[in-house]
């Protein structure tokens, strides 16, 4: 009899916990978890840092995880943080990722915890703001970590927490982000069976959506430097005006998508985001500077766009007796973010439950880009969006706006989404 009891006890310890154990517990604990999430979110919002410079952010994340009893690792990414949560039951290794960097945006929200941080970016004094909601991503993942670390008895398998820097792109001449973390061996010792990630957006309160297959665009920056000939503004015939050349190039670049690509096959965006030239009103400068972004969902389209940009810039410059130097992937680039179709199919109900039924699958991909894409190239990935508008607000300033606003209460659906994905994926994994 004693032997049978020991065998039974072993089976209880080693056999996976049934589905819904974590979800059920979270329903009981959510209010307490969200109080912490809100405090963390406000702290990180008030103290933003730019890509590869998230040193205080890293320290704060490490401190929070250590207080949960978790051992942290800062070896991956310049300012990244990782940690494992070991479940007491067999199951998969699931990676959960949050990005941690802010943007060179001067905040215009008047909140008690608004950012007043200033810095120098590309030679200009600017504010720093979590205008893309990465403060919410950090806070939600810390909330998930806090909950799971207290409920390892209900956790089937293990969790790899990834707090990833430089999602917005490493400074020129530096490496960073997901690509660098992988290059440094993040998945080498223990490769996850799946990875999940989230992004907040100016969408209805608590709404969740995703899409199987291609979900977000590839992205890369291009740069065009136009060399003209400086002269007095009163004698333009004595020089070569790079501002006129740049203006012609900007106008013609818009024809790449509208007139040169077959949009029945795919979608693309070519945008000019920076145009600089000159120092005085009465001087025609020697050079002008353009920088923009390319977004596609097909590698072949990206190749075609690069070729068209080069042809347009160089030939327009030559027609004006100027020269144009074109560079691509100035800060590296991100591939298309592709969601594993099986994960979306099997876990859509998990996301719908987290959103209280306010869930949908998008019919077309988004032209925004994410370096979560690098992780999803290595292991099956599922990336989803969470609406964080205040209740009843349908439209509000978008990500990257100085007025971008996150309603803290909406983040509860993000916590539930991650926990549901962990609970349900581990159950599917153990019963396949």
Range 257-263 average pLDDT: 89
- My answer on whether 52 and 152 are in the same domain is yes
Distance CA 398, CA 131 (A): 9
pLDDT at 17 over 80: no
Provide the 8-state DSSP code for 129: B
Region label for 122, one of left (φ > 0), alpha (ψ between -120 and 50) or beta (otherwise): left
Angle CA 344–345–347, to nearest 5? 65
Query: Does residue 254 share a domain with residue 123?
Result: no
Residue 424 domain flag: yes
Query: Do 34 and 139 lie in a common domain?
Result: yes
Domain stop point among 333, 367, 383: 333
Share of the chain above pLDDT 70, in %: 96
50 and 186 co-located in one domain: yes
Does 13 reside within a domain? no
For the stretch 270-276, contacts whose Cβ atoms lie closer than 8 Å and that sit 24 or more positions apart, written own/partner, are 270/294, 270/295, 270/305, 270/309, 271/295, 275/246, 275/250
Residues 254, 199, single domain; the answer is no
Asked whether residue 11 is assigned to any structural domain, the reply reads no
Please tell me the distance from the alpha carbon of residue 351 to that of residue 422, in angstroms, as a whole number: 11
Residue 6 located in a structural domain: no
Residue recorded with tokens 């704060």: 60
Residue 346 lies in a domain: yes
**How would you classify residue 348: left for phi > 0, otherwise alpha for psi between -120 and 50, otherwise beta?**
alpha
208, 354 contact by CB (below 8 A): yes
Choose between 364 and 130: higher pLDDT: 130
Which residues span the domain enclosing 27? Answer: 20-216+336-430
pLDDT, residue 122, reads 80
In a domain, 284, yes or no: yes
Residues 116 and 204 in one domain: yes
Closest CA to 326 of 273, 290, 363: 290
pLDDT confidence tier of residue 298, bands split at 50, 70 and 90: confident
pLDDT at 1 over 50: no
Number of domains in the chain: 2
Task: Report the CATH number at residue 398.
Answer: 3.40.630.10
E-assigned strands of 235-350? Answer: 268-277, 283-284, 287-296, 323-334, 337-339
User: 29-49, pLDDT tens digit by residue?
Assistant: 999 999 999 999 999 999 999
Are residues 263 and 375 both part of a single domain? no
User: What are the structure tokens assigned to 430, written together?
Assistant: 């153990």
Residue 38 shares a structural domain with residue 90: yes
Phi, psi dihedral angles at 25 (to 5 degrees): -65, -40
CATH number at residue 280: 3.30.70.360
- What pTM does this model have? 0.91
Q: 250 and 209: one domain? A: no
Confidence band, pLDDT 50/70/90 cuts, at residue 8: very low
Q: How far apart are the first and last CA of the chain?
A: 33
Same-domain check for residues 128 and 211 = yes
Shared domain for 244 and 174, answered yes or no, is no
Mean pLDDT across 290-306 = 92
Under the banding of pLDDT at 50, 70 and 90, the label for residue 12 is very low
Same domain, 111 and 161: yes
Query: What is the reported pLDDT for 267?
Result: 87
Q: In the chain, pLDDT over 90 holds for what percent of residues?
A: 90
């Amino acid at each position: 009899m004693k032997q049978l009891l020991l065998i039974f006890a072993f089976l209880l310890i080693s056999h996976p916990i049934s589905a819904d154990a974590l979800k059920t517990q979270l329903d009981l604990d959510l209010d307490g978890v969200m109080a912490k999430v809100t405090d963390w979110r406000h702290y990180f919002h008030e103290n933003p840092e730019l890509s590869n410079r998230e040193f205080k952010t890293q320290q704060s994340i490490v401190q929070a995880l250590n207080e949960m009893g978790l051992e942290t690792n800062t070896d991956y990414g310049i300012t990244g943080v990782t940690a494992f949560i070991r479940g007491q039951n067999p199951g998969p290794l699931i990676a959960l990722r949050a990005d941690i960097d802010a943007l060179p945006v001067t905040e215009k929200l008047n909140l008690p915890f608004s950012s007043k941080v200033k810095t120098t970016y590309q030679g200009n004094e600017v504010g720093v703001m979590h205008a893309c909601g990465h403060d919410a991503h950090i806070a939600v993942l810390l909330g998930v970590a806090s909950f799971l670390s207290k409920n390892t008895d209900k956790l089937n398998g293990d969790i790899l927490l990834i707090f990833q820097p430089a999602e917005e792109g490493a400074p020129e001449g530096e490496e960073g982000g997901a690509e660098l973390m992988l290059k440094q061996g993040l998945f080498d010792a223990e490769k996850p069976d799946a990875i999940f990630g989230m992004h907040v957006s100016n969408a209805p309160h608590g709404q969740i959506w995703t899409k199987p297959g291609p979900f977000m665009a590839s992205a890369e920056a291009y740069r065009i430097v136009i060399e003209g000939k400086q002269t007095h503004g009163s004698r333009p015939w004595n020089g070569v005006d790079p501002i006129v050349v740049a203006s012609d190039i900007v106008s013609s670049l818009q024809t790449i998508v509208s007139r040169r690509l077959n949009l029945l096959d795919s979608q693309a965006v070519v945008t000019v985001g920076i145009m600089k030239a000159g120092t005085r009103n009465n001087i025609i400068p020697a050079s002008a500077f353009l920088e923009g972004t390319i977004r596609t969902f097909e590698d072949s389209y990206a190749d075609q766009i690069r070729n068209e940009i080069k042809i347009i810039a160089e030939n327009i410059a030559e027609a004006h007796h100027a020269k144009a130097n074109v560079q691509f992937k100035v800060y590296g680039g991100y591939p298309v973010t592709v969601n594993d179709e099986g994960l979306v199919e099997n876990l859509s109900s998990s996301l719908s439950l987290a959103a209280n039924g306010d869930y949908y699958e998008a019919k077309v991909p988004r032209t925004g880009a994410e370096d979560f894409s690098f992780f999803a190239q290595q292991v099956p990935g599922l990336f989803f969006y969470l609406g964080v508008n205040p209740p009843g607000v349908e439209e509000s300033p978008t990500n990257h706006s100085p007025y971008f606003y996150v309603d803290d209460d909406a983040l509860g659906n993000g916590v539930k989404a991650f926990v549901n994905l962990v609970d349900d994926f581990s159950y599917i994994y153990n019963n396949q």
